[in-house]
Structure 1
Amino acid sequence: MPTNEPRPPMSKADYVYTVLLDEIRTARIPGGTALRAGAVARRLGVSVTPVREALRRLEKDRLISYEAHHGATVIDLGDDALEEFYGLRAVVEGLAARLAAGRVTAADLDWLRELHASMAEDVRQGRYDRLAEQSRHFHLRIADIGGPAFLGQHARAVRNSVPVPATASLWLDGEQARLQLEAHERILAALADSDGPAAERLMIEHVRRAGDHRRTH
């Protein structure tokens, strides 16, 4: 339950990790980019020590690699890795949707429907740049509902493991955005009907379609 207790301040290493993770996840730092600890420290206004700690965490996340005489480099993933990524997402998020169909509450459905309506309005207004992040919230909320102990955390870890350039988002294409919204609507209907098998099948199809689009664009 929410409390009014103050949260501990974010450490400098956590701050650097959060910034770099977001920049890598959204491909603002593209694959193949060298990350120099000194340069990152100067840019973020911290010492080199928290940067090195953050880079070690990113290495454990398999988002960067170290090479002799080259230092840290953002991993550049090919088609095989993308196929594995979207296949894993389909399994995790599909299972979460099936479990969510048996656990979803009226309040959960209201939250998802409100987000869906906001996305539909953005499509009508041509605000396509907002949709990818909203879709992320939609998917992760379902994962949290279906698997609050493990699946929600795993869904986030999987999504953070592969950068998605803003230009690669299918949500930037008007026709694709409408198709994806229709998929969300069908998933919502399956959840409302407590139809776990249908929710799982629809989620798997939805995620795999996104993967097909990513690999061909």
Structure 2
Amino acid sequence: MSKAEYVYSVLLDEIRSARIPGGTALRAGEVAKRLGVSVTPVREALRRLEKDRLISYEAHHGATVVDLGDEALAEYYGLRAVVEGLGARLAAARITPEQLASLRELHAAMAADAEHGRYALLGEQSRHFHLRIVDIGGPAFLGAHARSVRNSFPVPAEASLWLDEAQVKAQMEAHEDILTALAAGDGAAAERIMVDHINRAGEYRQETSGPLTGDLA
């Protein structure tokens, strides 16, 4: 990994997880000092983040993390529903017994963590569950698109709605229904369940949390 790649990966993770919140100014010199690199790789990383539309440049202000609001939140979940829904539909026709077993193993691990109240582990596991399905359905393009969408909208880890005990059961049931549809080779059902699952997540988040305060699905 080059120094520019290192800086980019660190800043991307910090922005995606909202440890660097929207509206924060990113000064190349300060970032370089904090990460122990020169200014040159930091500037290269900032240019990549600008292409990702995660930061913007303004005259006399420099680079600033984009502050996203309600419209972006709705677009984020809508786009996720389309991409991940299509991934689920295609996966139903392509999934192998080994891939299905791997997904069931991940789901079982989540169920065990949920049963023992280890809710802090569920958000990242759910992310892997969704992305594995999209990778199976669309290994050429959809997997990369799904990651790009998820990386484009900051979600504070501590605000994950998987931490809400009242929501965990419904989320686990949706994942179980998706697995059932995949096992049956029912692409239409897999897509419908995935889309409904993500849309309900977006609606719940808008109603209860507001922008930048949690990820449900």
TM bucket (normalised to shorter chain) is: over 0.9
User: What amino acid maps onto 2:71 in structure 1?
Assistant: D
Partner residue of 1:119 out of 110, 122, 135:
110
Moved over 3 A (4+): none
Q: Which residue does the alignment assign to 1:31?
A: 22
Counterpart for residue 186 of structure 1: 177
Amino acid at match of 1:163: P
Are 1:95 and 2:86 counterparts? yes
Partners of 1:129 and 1:29 lie apart in 2 by 20
Q: How does 1:1-217 map to 2 (within 5 A)?
A: 10-216=1-207, 217=209
Q: Give 1:179's aligned amino acid.
A: A
Cα deviations by residue, 1:34-86 (Å, 9 ceiling, x for unpaired): 11111111111100000000000000000001111111111111100110010
Residues 173-194 of structure 1: CA distance to partner in whole angstroms, max 9, x if unpaired? 0121111011000000000000
SS of 2:181's partner is: helix
The TM-score normalised by the length of structure 1 is: 0.94
SS at match of 1:73: strand
| Structure 2 stretches lacking a partner, 5+ long | 210-217
Query: What code does the residue aligned with 2:171 have?
Result: Q
SS of equivalent to 1:176 = helix
Deviation at 1:103, TM superposition (A): 0.2
Partner SS for 2:4: helix
SS in 1 for 2:110: helix
For residues 130-149 of structure 1, the C-alpha deviation after alignment (integer angstroms, 9 at most, x for no partner) is: 11110010000000000000
1:211: Cα distance to partner? 1.2
Given that 1:170 and 1:213 are in contact with CA atoms closer than 8 Å, whether structure 2 keeps it comes out as: no
Normalised TM-score (structure 2): 0.94
The alpha-carbon deviation at position 167 of structure 1 amounts to: 3.6
- 2:213 corresponding residue in structure 1: none
Alignment partner, residue 3 of structure 1: none
Is the deviation greater in 207-216 or in 47-56?
207-216
Distance 1:215 1:167 in 2: 17
How many matched pairs? 208
